[in-house]
Amino acid sequence: MTTRADLASSADYATAVATAVSAAGDYYRDGSTPLGDDEYDALVRAIEAWEQQHPDDVHPDSPTGKVAGGAAVGDVPHSVPMLSLDNVFNDEELTHFAAGLERRLGRQVGAWCVEPKLDGLAVAARYQGGRLVQMLTRGDGLAGEDITHAADAVLGLPATLTEPLDIELRGEVLLTTAQFETANEIRIAHGAAPFAHPRSGAAGTLRAKDRPYRIELTFFAYSAIGLDGLGHSALLETLAALGANTAASTAASPLRCESLEQVHGRIAEITALRSALPFGIDGVVIKADSPEDQFQAGHGSRAPRWAVARKLPAEHKVTRLLEVEWNVGRTGVIAPRAVLEPVNIDGVIVTYATLHNPGDIARRDLMLGDQVFVYRAGDVIPRVEAPLVDQRTGAEKPIVFPEACPRCGDAIDTSGQRWRCVRGRGCQAVASVIYAAGRDQLDIEGLGRTRAVQLVDSGLVSDIADLFTLDKEQLLTLERMGDTSADNLLAAIEQARGAALNRVFCALGVRGTGRTMSRRIAAHFGSMAAIRAADVETLAVVDGVGPERARLVVDELADLGPVLDKLIAAQVGTTVTEPATPAVGDAGEDAVAGPLAGQSVVVTGSMTGDLASLSRNEMNELIERAGGKASSSVSKRTALLVAGEKAGSKRAKAEDLGIQILTPEEFAALVTDYLHR
């Protein structure tokens, strides 16, 4: 790609303009541009820099100074030009923008309004007598495309306002994360290719006509024509009162700030919330709040002078799919992983991404050599969303699916969505043993990878139950295993024999369960034999399991039947576990007493003080021992957040929802009686 440093000649400049114009055309048509936001922004800034040095040689097609880069078109005139926003890319540039605005005004800005920059399509919705009569795209800012046919599928855009006004609402239409996933399920079911990412999905859906299916989108109002004299904060409140959806309905709600320092603080808060929001944002918008400041500052040909977008690093990037690796997990699941041309996404170099399963690859019509959209939000594992089919050159190659297990060469069970080696856990016995011996499971000291490999390769151990039949004579046959080492390992295994049932069950690595769910299942049934005999209906009543997970667990238990029988015979996991935590709202003589009784608790950040040595699983266990219910996400049902160092977006969301927040030290004091049990 041509970068800022590359524009050393008029030829470089001409190439950059052509590339930008082509990319903008794809972007505003259906979002299928081969350039990510960061690359496009860098290219336009390089063009601007060259044009500042060569003002007499500006190309007429240059995207600078034009709404939508001059790429979008429309045939329905706007009543008032529908402009874009200028961008800044760091705090220093934002401070420079604010200083420039105040110089223009000759005084300080009265107040600012800070809100998320939604990653969708700008639209104008016209109302007559309070009834929606027309919806347009922004187009080139002077005229847009009529998309009224799509209005009934746009949630948050009222067909009738609460007052019979003649006004025009302006805002963003997008696909939320849930709507995007649903849209692709619908498209795949109808034999259509999945959308590459939410923005392309929104663009394609708004323009599509006569589809045999319906895809819902969401509207967020941020401006209006016909409601004059209102400050921006007051305007947003008025729009909400008229029945339109605004960002005030989200955790990243618009905030009126009295100073630039507060503006920087709110930008940091919205940025921290980014990965938790149910829709995509690509920046934060900062606007002078008062109508007087806006009027005096005025507008340029492309953007208002009283507002700016503080861009954030893109979470969607385009890169090339180089290869697909097939890895075998400890339960025998054969999982495909994309090998990518390295790409920087939000400060992280991404080389690998998940592909879910073979069926997912086929549905997305992926090929080796494809340019693909890759997505990463927060700490979520990167994933490949879709190929840019129109960018194919003919050199792409089909992805070859394995015909035998990539690890052991045995047959593959392809009956389910997730393919598995027919040997199941036996294919990855070493991984299963290492997992079982881990600190959060059986905590068998001295049983690391080297020992696990020796035990499996020697034929002494084929599953975790075999650990409890080992004797010293067998261990001494292993390389570098002396008397002391053998005695120590046997002592650690014997101690694990008495581990609580929930830890033994967790050590099995049953799909659909984890540490918390293992505690609930173990406490509900009370013995490995009872778990072994459980059916779907019996398991489904355990708090948090439900019918769907219960079916998966029952299938897993059937697969693990021989291992379970050996554990029962060896009397492993007979120690009684603590009572199960009841579901929130349960009562009765079996309800757990404790300082957290019935409360949903979320832990985030690094723990300190008495909690510093606890793993996240141990923190969840502590919560349940104190009567609470451990959760991984903050919601309206969350009663308490334990926020350690670098708490991030979960703390911000909890503050927005008014949820009680405790430091690790305050939480430790609350659960003192349970901390060292």
Catalytic site residue 646? no
- Number of helices followed by number of strands (H, E) in the chain: 23, 25
Cβ neighbours of residue 215 closer than 8 Å, sequence gap 6 or more: 153, 175, 179, 182, 183, 186, 187, 201, 205
Pairwise CA distance, residues 437 & 608, whole Å: 26
β-sheet with 600-604: strand ranges across: 629-631, 600-604, 638-643, 660-662
Cβ neighbours of residue 628 closer than 8 Å, sequence gap 6 or more: 581, 594, 596, 597, 598, 599, 600, 601, 639, 640
Pairwise CA distance, residues 605 & 600, whole Å: 17
Pairwise CA distance, residues 33 & 37, whole Å: 9
Place of tokens 């579901």: 583
Name the DSSP class of 319: E
Quick one: which of 327, 426, 338, 445 has its CA closest to 382? 338
Half-sphere exposure of 546 (CA within 13 A, CB side): 5
H or E element that contains 281: strand 281-288
Instruction: Please name the residue ranges forming H helices in 77-197.
Output: 91-105, 177-189
Among candidate residues 117, 287, 311, 650, the one labeled active-site is 117
Structure tokens at 498: 């008495």
CA 574 to chain centre: 40
Which residues is 146 bridged to in the sheet? Answer: 136
Place of tokens 């984890």: 514
Cβ neighbours of residue 665 closer than 8 Å, sequence gap 6 or more: 608, 609, 610
Pairwise CA distance, residues 420 & 425, whole Å: 9
How far is CA 461 from each of CA 227, 285, 466, 471, 548, rounded to the nearest angstrom?
Answer: 76, 60, 5, 12, 33
Active site residues per annotation: 117
